[in-house]
Structures are given as structure tokens and as C-alpha cells.
């Protein structure tokens, strides 16, 4: 069977209802068991500006937004002017001819004009064109109208039967117009026989928190992390989770640490600017040995930067979050399923090792949406709270004395929850001895300071063996190895497929566990690779520098992007070819259009 790979681009200004047709199309596709990937390029204004939603579907897993647009739906003239020149032979452009005029198109591009005035003369409002275009697309890819009719009934039922009937009538007009005037695509969308789920990375992070047993969540709304707060607040009562919107990120992290100190699993999320305000408190959590999880959804910086665009620019920020040395565990999910699965895993680790954990996501992953097999979402995950006296029903301490920060070989001390009879102890952010007594109250004791500091840091020796080592994806001995971290996994692996078609053998090593780092395992793999190119969404090559500082390994080439938009597969293919040809060691692509 021929592979189906269809990409639809819907563009317009904020307020033109771009999300609704995208959501309806995605819902139709996943109901047929088709895989979907969606990325929305938008601006930080409520109305106006330019928004462009890319929705790609296939009968095979969709790894990225891809390189092409098969169907363009410009909802205003600006979108037509920006994107028309990129349309390729075999593609189609659907537009309201009452208000939008096309320019010159390449041979083989089908222009599909329709008149809202003619098809829906009794209905006012710009949003009518969305429904007409949506119906026309479905007709051109041979999807039965009754499927759209069912979805519209669900979409508009809250507005009443009249709204459902009105939208269904408009859709029928668009569907019939396409049947009469537009040429169908040569393929039809198959029904794979199994429905898929469809949601964004932020929702996956939130659901992962619920699966992990989070009972307290707090945040200050900050794009692109706000989706976690939205999901948590929407399901808080049902799941028994206390959710608080706090006045600022300093209050957020301190409330989360306070909740965690009581024995409650607590989580918070922010972006780079908010995370900057949390760093002192994260060090305090490490000093007090309180487990807490913080999500940093990266966006383009510095400062306010480009708040609605993606970047992998916060790696060194989280590596150095807070003054001094302290144990922390940092992980960067590589896909939306990872966003779900890594949260319970991280909570088990931070509970066991009594330290902060940081999830380093980014806008592409957290606000991007993807189809998921529901079977991959296991909400009955193992929960390991570590050695927590208040939860284990332990008896009173030996000789009536409890050393909360007892120096142990593993670095992990017995932890008691506040209020546990017989286990009273001091918790403070100053350096302290085994009892929690501040060592600088009378004089600083160098021996105690050294011993307790080494105890805390010794925990990290026990973390690494519990983490899965990274593995090479693809054939060993390939001509080039693409090394990435976090969200670049999908686009790298699609680029590898394209390189293979051009007789360039490539493989991929993708890193998710950043601290502690599998330095020896990574070095062992890379030392056997013929040519290594590091791929990352930042200016300075932050992971390349981190890897070199930990292993001494220097890559043969670099592909970096920092224009605010994610990599497309051809960016990596072009970069690999340029580096292999010896024309450059650093390839920096930029998006072809302003989005």
C-alpha cells in the first residue's frame, strides 16, 4: 500500500479561528488510526499578527512537521503572500476569493477559490471560510461527509441545535463545491482500525504528574509552560490534586518545596525567566534534602526574548542553577510519550535520593501535539517513595535520638515527615551537622562541613546506575552520527531517512538524561563513530560544550538553529551534506519565511 503523507497548513491572524479547523482535522485523522503531528507558529499578541498551523498526518509515525505543505488554507491575504511561493507541484491552495487574491504559482499547484458570499449568503462573520475550507479539504482527500457531520455536532453542541445545523449546512456547501470544482488528490486516507489519542506535550507532563501521585501543583502562568497549569486546574478536583496559581515564581518554588517537605509529591512548571527566580530555592531544597520536581519549558531568550518561539537555550542555566555544588537530576524528554513517562521515573528518583529534579522541555515539545497510542499511557506506574519514616510506619528512633542528616556511605539519610512522633529535627538552609544544627552558630567546623557536603554529593554516584544508558539508533559504522538531546530526536530521525535515500548512511545518538551524564558510555559510543555532528536549537552549542567539559570529546561538526523556529528535516540534510563536503564545520539554517 502506498504510504500516505499529507501536510495541511492553515494561516491567518490571531482571532481568525485557526485552531478549530486544525482540531477537527486532527480528531478525524486519529479516529481513523492515522498518526498526526501538529506545530503552531504564533505571536505573543491576542489579535493580529501572523499564525501558521502545520498539521501533518500519515499511516506511519510522524516524526516532525516535515518539509512540505500539500494543502494551504490562507485565511487572509498576508498568509497567501507569505506561503504561496513555497507551494510545490501537486499541492492545492483553498481560499476565499471574496477577500483573498492569489499571486503567481508554480506549475502543478492547484488554486481552489471559493466564494463565501455565494456559498453562505445568509451568514455573517469571517469564520465561515474556515468551515468551508475544512469541508473542501475532506472532500479532496475522499473522507465521507458524515464523519465531518458527526464531529461538527460534537464541536458545536454547547451552542445549541441551531448552531450545529448552521455549521453543518455551511460545511455541506463547501463539500459539494469541492466535489464540483476541485481536483481530488490521488490517494484516499485509510482507516487503520485503531483510534489514537492526540494531545500536547504540556498535557503529557501534567498527566505524568498525576500518574506519579502528585498531590500539589503550583505555578505562575508563563508561556510556554502554562498548559501544564491548565490541565492540572481542569482535573484537580477529580484527581484530588491541590492546584494553586501563585503571585510569582519565587512563591511557586517555595510553596512546592514546603508541600514536598510534608511528604506530598509536589511539582511546578515555568519557563527560563521564571526558572531564574527559582534557582536559590532549588539549592535550598538540596541543602534541606527535600525532593521536588520543577519543569522548565524553554523558549527563545534571553530576558523576555521571543516568548512564543522555541529554543534549547537553557541547558547551562539549569546546570548552574543556584550557587555552589549540590545534587540534582536533570532530564530532557525527547518526544511527547517521554513527557508522560519520565515524570513518574523522575519522582521515584528524587524521592529515593532526596534532591531536586528538573525536566528540561521546550516550546516545540510542550506546545506541539502528536498522536499517541493510548496503550503507551500507563497510569498504574510503580511508586517508590524511598526511605520515608513517616510513610513506612517505623517505630521511634534508637535511644530517642534522630539524626536527619546522618552521614551514610550512600549519601542518603533517613527521612522523617514533620510531625512523626519521636522524629523531631531541624531543617534549615544553612550548612548543618547530622542533627541539623547549624555548624556556623558558634564557629565553622571545617571537618563537619566537608563531611556533610561530601555526603550530599555522594548521592549522585547512586543515581547513574539506575538510569538507562543512551543507545545508538541506526546501523553502527554509519558515515555520520547525528548527536542530539531532547526534542530534536524526531526531526533528526526523519533527516536520517532522507539521507539514506540519497545514499548517505547516518545514525543517531539522542541524550535525555543530562545530569548525571553517562559520560563513559557516550564516549565509548562516539569514539567508534566515523564523523559526529551535534544538532541543537541554540547559538553557542551548549550541549557540545557540556559534552566536551565532561568527556573531552570534540565533535566534527555542528548544526545549530536559533531563529525561533524548529528544525525541518531538510535543514539537517543540507547541513550534513555541507559538513561532509568540507565547506563548513558549523551550519546555521534559517526559516525560509517569516512566521
Residues 195 and 221 sit within 8 Å (Cβ to Cβ): no
State the DSSP code for 306.
B
User: What does the alpha-carbon distance between residue 38 and residue 26 come to, in Å, rounded to a whole number?
Assistant: 8
Backbone CA torsion sign across 253, 254, 259, 264? positive
Q: pLDDT by residue (tens digit) across 472-530?
A: 999 999 999 999 999 999 999 999 999 999 999 999 999 999 999 999 999 999 999 99
Mean pLDDT over all residues of the chain?
Answer: 95
The side-by-side arrangement of strands in the sheet containing 197-200 is 110-114, 92-96, 71-74, 5-14, 48-58, 35-41, 369-372, 197-200
Residues 446 and 439 sit within 8 Å (Cβ to Cβ): no
User: What does the alpha-carbon distance between residue 562 and residue 565 come to, in Å, rounded to a whole number?
Assistant: 7
Run of H or E residues at 372: strand 369-372
Which DSSP string do the residues of 190-224 spell out, in sequence order? ---SS--EEEEHHHHHHHHHHHHT--EEEE---TT
Beta bridge partners of 38: 55, 369
Q: pLDDT by residue (tens digit) across 233-256?
A: 999 999 999 999 999 999 999 999
User: What does the alpha-carbon distance between residue 84 and residue 74 come to, in Å, rounded to a whole number?
Assistant: 9
| Res. 205: pLDDT tops 80 | yes
Which runs of E-coded beta strand occur in 421-512?
472-473, 480-485, 506-511
User: What does the alpha-carbon distance between residue 460 and residue 7 come to, in Å, rounded to a whole number?
Assistant: 45
Q: pLDDT by residue (tens digit) across 334-359?
A: 999 999 999 999 999 999 999 999 99
Q: Is 87 exposed, middle or buried (0-12, 13-18, 19+ CB in 10 A)?
A: buried
Q: pLDDT by residue (tens digit) across 553-586?
A: 999 999 999 999 999 999 999 999 999 999 999 9
What is the number of other CB atoms lying within 10 angstroms of the CB of residue 27? 16
Smallest CA-to-CA distance from 40 within 77, 15, 65, 73 is with 65
Q: pLDDT by residue (tens digit) across 283-335?
A: 999 999 999 999 999 999 999 999 999 999 999 999 999 999 999 999 999 99
Q: pLDDT by residue (tens digit) across 112-157?
A: 999 999 999 988 767 799 999 999 999 999 999 999 999 999 988 8
User: What does the alpha-carbon distance between residue 473 and residue 475 come to, in Å, rounded to a whole number?
Assistant: 7
The three cell numbers of residue 566 are: 524548529
User: What does the alpha-carbon distance between residue 70 and residue 533 come to, in Å, rounded to a whole number?
Assistant: 31
Residue 538: predicted pLDDT: 98
CA 31 vs CA 4, 20, 194, 376, 451: distances in Å: 16, 17, 7, 17, 59
Report the phi/psi class of residue 244: left, alpha or beta, with left for phi > 0 and alpha for psi in -120 to 50: beta
Q: Which residue has the higher pLDDT, 442 or 335?
A: 335
Residues 111 and 101 sit within 8 Å (Cβ to Cβ): no
Using pLDDT thresholds of 50, 70 and 90, give the confidence band for residue 15. Answer: confident
**Backbone phi, psi, residue 242, to 5°:** -80, 125
Owner of C-alpha cell 570534540: 554
Residue 594: predicted pLDDT: 67
The angle formed by the CA atoms of residues 390, 424 and 400, to the nearest 5 degrees, is 95
Helices (H) and strands (E) in the chain, counts: 19, 21
Q: pLDDT by residue (tens digit) across 47-71?
A: 788 999 999 999 999 999 999 999 9
| Res. 22: pLDDT tops 80 | yes
Using pLDDT thresholds of 50, 70 and 90, give the confidence band for residue 257. Answer: very high
CA 588 vs CA 253, 510, 559: distances in Å: 36, 20, 6
CA dihedral 445, 449, 452, 456 (to 10 degrees): 170
Could you give the domains of the chain? 5-181 (3.40.920.10), 198-376 (3.40.50.970), 389-465 (no CATH), 472-587 (3.40.50.920)
Amino acid at each position: 500500500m502506498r504510504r500516505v503523507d499529507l501536510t495541511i497548513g492553515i494561516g491567518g491572524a490571531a482571532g481568525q479561528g485557526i485552531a478549530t479547523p486544525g482540531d477537527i482535522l486532527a480528531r478525524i485523522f486519529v479516529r481513523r488510526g492515522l498518526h498526526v503531528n501538529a506545530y503552531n507558529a504564533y505571536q505573543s499578541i491576542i489579535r493580529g499578527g501572523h499564525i501558521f498551523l502545520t498539521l501533518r498526518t500519515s499511516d506511519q509515525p510522524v516524526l516532525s512537521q516535515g518539509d512540505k505543505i500539500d494543502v494551504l488554507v490562507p485565511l487572509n491575504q498576508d498568509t497567501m503572500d507569505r506561503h504561496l511561493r513555497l507551494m510545490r507541484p501537486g499541492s492545492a491552495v483553498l481560499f476565499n476569493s471574496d477577500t483573498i487574491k492569489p499571486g503567481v504559482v508554480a506549475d502543478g499547484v492547484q488554486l481552489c477559490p471559493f466564494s463565501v458570499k455565494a456559498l453562505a449568503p445568509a451568514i455573517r462573520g469571517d469564520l465561515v471560510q474556515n468551515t468551508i475550507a475544512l469541508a473542501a479539504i475532506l472532500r479532496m482527500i475522499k473522507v465521507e461527509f458524515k464523519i465531518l457531520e458527526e464531529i461538527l455536532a460534537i464541536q458545536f453542541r454547547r451552542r445549541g441545535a441551531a448552531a450545529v445545523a448552521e455549521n453543518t449546512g455551511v460545511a455541506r456547501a463547501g463539500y459539494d463545491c469541492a466535489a464540483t470544482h476541485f481536483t481530488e488528490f490521488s490517494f484516499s486516507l485509510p482507516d487503520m482500525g485503531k483510534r489514537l489519542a492526540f494531545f500536547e506535550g504540556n498535557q503529557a507532563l501534567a498527566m505524568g504528574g498525576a500518574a506519579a501521585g502528585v498531590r500539589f501543583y503550583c505555578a505562575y502562568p508563563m508561556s510556554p509552560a502554562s498548559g501544564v497549569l491548565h490541565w492540572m486546574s481542569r482535573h484537580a478536583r477529580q484527581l484530588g490534586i491541590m492546584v494553586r496559581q501563585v503571585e510569582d515564581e519565587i512563591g511557586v518554588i517555595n510553596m512546592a518545596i514546603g508541600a514536598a517537605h510534608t511528604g506530598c509529591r509536589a511539582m511546578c512548571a515555568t519557563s527560563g525567566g521564571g526558572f531564574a527566580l527559582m534557582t536559590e530555592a532549588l539549592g535550598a531544597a538540596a541543602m534541606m534534602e527535600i525532593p521536588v520536581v520543577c519543569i522548565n519549558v524553554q523558549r527563545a531568550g534571553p530576558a523576555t526574548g521571543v516568548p512564543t518561539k522555541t529554543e534549547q537555550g537553557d541547558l547551562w542555566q539549569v546546570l548552574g542553577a543556584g550557587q555552589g555544588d549540590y545534587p540534582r537530576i536533570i532530564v530532557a524528554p525527547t518526544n511527547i510519550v517521554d513527557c508522560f513517562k519520565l515524570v513518574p521515573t523522575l519522582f521515584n528518583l528524587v524521592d529515593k535520593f532526596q534532591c531536586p529534579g528538573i525536566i528540561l522541555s521546550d516550546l516545540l515539545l510542550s506546545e506541539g501535539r502528536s498522536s499517541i497510542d493510548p496503550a503507551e499511557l500507563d497510569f498504574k506506574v510503580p511508586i517508590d517513595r524511598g526511605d520515608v519514616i513517616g510513610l513506612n510506619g517505623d517505630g521511634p528512633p534508637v535511644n530517642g535520638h534522630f539524626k536527619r542528616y546522618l552521614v551514610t556511605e550512600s549519601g542518603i539519610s533517613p527521612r522523617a515527615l514533620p510531625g512523626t512522633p519521636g522524629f523531631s529535627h531541624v531543617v534549615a538552609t544553612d550548612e548543618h551537622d547530622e542533627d541539623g544544627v547549624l555548624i556556623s552558630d558558634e564557629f565553622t567546623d571545617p571537618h563537619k562541613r566537608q563531611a556533610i557536603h561530601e555526603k550530599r554529593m555522594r548521592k549522585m554516584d547512586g543515581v547513574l546506575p539506575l538510569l538507562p544508558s543512551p543507545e545508538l539508533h541506526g546501523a553502527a559504522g554509519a558515515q555520520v552520527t547525528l548527536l542530539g538531546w531532547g526534542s530534536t530526536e524526531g526531526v533528526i530521525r526523519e533527516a536520517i531517512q532522507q539521507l539514506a535515500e540519497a545514499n548517505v548512511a547516518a545514525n543517531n545518538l539522542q541524550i535525555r538524561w543530562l545530569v548525571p551524564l553517562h559520560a563513559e558510555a557516550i564516549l565509548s559510543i562516539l569514539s567508534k563513530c566515523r564523523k559526529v555532528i551535534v544538532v541543537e536549537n541554540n547559538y553557542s552549542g551548549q550541549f557540545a560544550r557540556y559534552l566536551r567539559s565532561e568527556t573531552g570529546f570534540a565533535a566534527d561538526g555542528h548544526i545549530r538553529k536559533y531563529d525561533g523556529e524548529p528544525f525541518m528535516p531538510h535543514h539537517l540534510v543540507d547541513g550534513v551534506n555541507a559538513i561532509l563536503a568540507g565547506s563548513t564545520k558549523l551550519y546555521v539554517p534559517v526559516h525560509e519565511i517569516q512566521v
